[in-house]
Chains A and B, each alone.
Chain A
Amino acid sequence: MSFAYPVFRPVADHGLLVEFGDRIDNGVHDQVLRLDAGLSAESVPGFLEAVPAYVNILVRFDPVLTDHATVEAALRRLIAAPAVARRPGQPREVRVCYEAALAPDMAAVVAATGLEAEAIIAAHLAGDYRVYMYGFAPGYAYLAGVPEAIRLPRKTAPVRGTAAGSVVIAGPQCLVTTMIMPNGWWNIGRSPTRILDGGDSDRPFLFDVGDSVRFTRITREQFEAESRA
């Protein structure tokens, strides 16, 4: 089955899911980001919020003020408008300590990949990561860009009580957890970088969807000092 993208799918009385493709791809995600940028730059009557993801974006609206057909027409104009550029992704740094005590799954990743721990760390640091979407829990940003050599399928069962700040990988994806929750990905390090500020700050989330992320390696001493900061 083939579709002429973009496809507009109605979501109850209050949304349209706008799809630009069906597989994870930077070019498809760029179109998601371009529409997201257009929605924040232009005023679409009745628009409530947009939720960008890998291949599509949910556009929510107030059904009293507008309807699916009116919003679809406005979105088609935004998509066609050549003036709308994707918002430039900001570079973000996430600091990671890979020491064994903070990397409970490193031994398992060594066993599964046949690589030394240092080679796994080097591969993880070399990855070119982009924030594709948030999900699972508040502040959980899905970063794709894990190098081929250290891509593993997720665990068969999630591990309870995975610590906040855990740097976990599965397939091409990586994320830095923000709270203690069950997680079925491979835990290869711990970060003191705050992705989610528990308080009511102006910038509660470190990343916007579309940002690029670089991991930097820190020592245990740096980790302890930065965790206290």
Chain B
Amino acid sequence: MSTAQLTVTQAGPHVTFQDAGRFGKMRFGVPTSGPMDRASFAAAQAVLGNPDEAGAIEISPGGLTLACDAGEVSLAVAGGGFQVTLDGVRHGAWTVLTLRAGQVLTIRPGFWGCWTYLSFAGRLQVAPWLDSISTHGPTGLGGGLLTEGQAITLEETRVVAPRAIPLPLWARPLSEVPVVLGPQDRFFAPETIATFLGATYALSDAYDRMGVRLNGPALPPNAALDMPSEPIARGSVQVSGDAVPTVLLADHQSTGGYPKIATVLSTSLDSFVQLRSRQRLRFQAVSPAQAIALVRSRRLAMGRYLEALRPNPG
């Protein structure tokens, strides 16, 4: 059986192991975690013919450098517009390459995007927690954060032909973000809702896998915040006591007591998280029925794109 041995020679903060996610455990306080940008993660797996639930490395703007000590393995990078360098040679941001013993792979932030995915034609040897290697950022449970000097073993490694991965339209950062109002929009006056939908917001520096605080007009709730804690969905736009909205992301708390003025559509989160701190956006309200229609058409297009990426069997 062919294997490859890698060493992490540099890893920035928030660089973690992720698979598709840890599903169905939210009732026990465990969010799904998994990739911040699920669409780009899926592209990185499909292009290598990997199963949807295979493990990968999620790379933040902190970047990652890997040295290959033994063996060889093909890999894919997809998500954002990062700088990918193999032994000093620059490659496209969305690409399939082969890393061989003695070579060094460097991934650094580029002109755009916040998260990129490094998948392998081989199996990552990472211990799961609750059946998933996805890292829960706040606790480090799961595969965990990558650290300098860490060894990574890949088994059943394969080598495939290098290629560029076509960049789909929906992988771009999104500055018009569709939301469904609620479930607690009733805690806000109509003029506050109008502000939320009419104003321009920007991502703040308070941005991690749990969520991102936004800068922009305040959204004061019109009632005392005494609601019992209740379940939170990924994509919730939560307004804390200081009237500041926060979009809750992959590692969000499963319950909380602040009102949620709106919730971002599931497929729009993938491109929302590719916005960087200080980049601007506007929210657009859509009805629940419009949300279903938008998500279905996106999923259909994504399914066709991923099918076309997959290598032909045999």
Contacts and interface: CB of A to CB of B under 8 A. Distances in A.
Contacts of A181: 138-139
B299 A51 contact: no
Q: With a 10 A CB-CB cut-off, give which of B27, B182, B231, B266 has the most chain A CB atoms.
A: B231
Nearest to A68: B288
Interface residues of B, number: 48
Contacts of A60: 233
A49 B129 contact: no
A139 B28 contact: yes
B183 A49 contact: no
B296 A200 contact: no
A56 B139 contact: no
Contacts of A134: 27-29, 254-255
A138 B182 contact: no
B263 interface: yes
Given A9-B182, A12-B179, A137 B29 contact: yes
B183 A10 contact: yes
B253 interface: yes
A56 B25 CA distance: 17
Interface in B118-139: 128-131, 136, 138-139
Nearest to B223: A1
A133 interface: yes
Contacts of B141: 138, 198
Nearest to A178: B29
A12 B237 CA distance: 11
Interface string A12-27: 1111010000111000
Contacts of A179: 139
A184 B186 CA distance: 29
B151 interface: no
The residue among B236, B291, B299 with the most chain A CB atoms within 10 A of its own CB is B291
Interface in B271-314: 288-289, 291-292, 294-296, 299
A134 to B, nearest CB: 4
Given A53-B229, A134-B254, A200-B128, A13 B26 contact: no
Contact of A133 (B229, B236, B267): B229
Contacts of B183: 9-11, 17
Contacts of B296: 63-64
A142 interface: yes
Given A12-B265, A49-B23, A54-B229, A135 B253 contact: yes
B249 interface: no
Contact of B129 (A9, A12, A198): A198
A169 B231 CA distance: 21
B231 A13 contact: no
A69 to B, nearest CB: 8
B26 A51 contact: yes
A146 interface: no
Interface of B: 23-30, 128-131, 136, 138-139, 141, 179-180, 182-184, 186, 227-233, 235-236, 253-256, 263-267, 288-289, 291-292, 294-296, 299
Interface of A: 1, 9-15, 17, 22-24, 48-58, 60, 63-64, 67-69, 133-142, 179, 181, 198, 200, 204-205, 209
Would you list the 3 A-B pairs with minimal beta carbon distance, nearest first? A135-B255, A134-B29, A58-B231
14 contacts: A11-B233, A12-B263, A13-B292, A14-B295, A17-B183, A53-B230, A64-B299, A68-B288, A133-B229, A135-B229, A138-B28, A138-B141, A139-B28, A200-B129
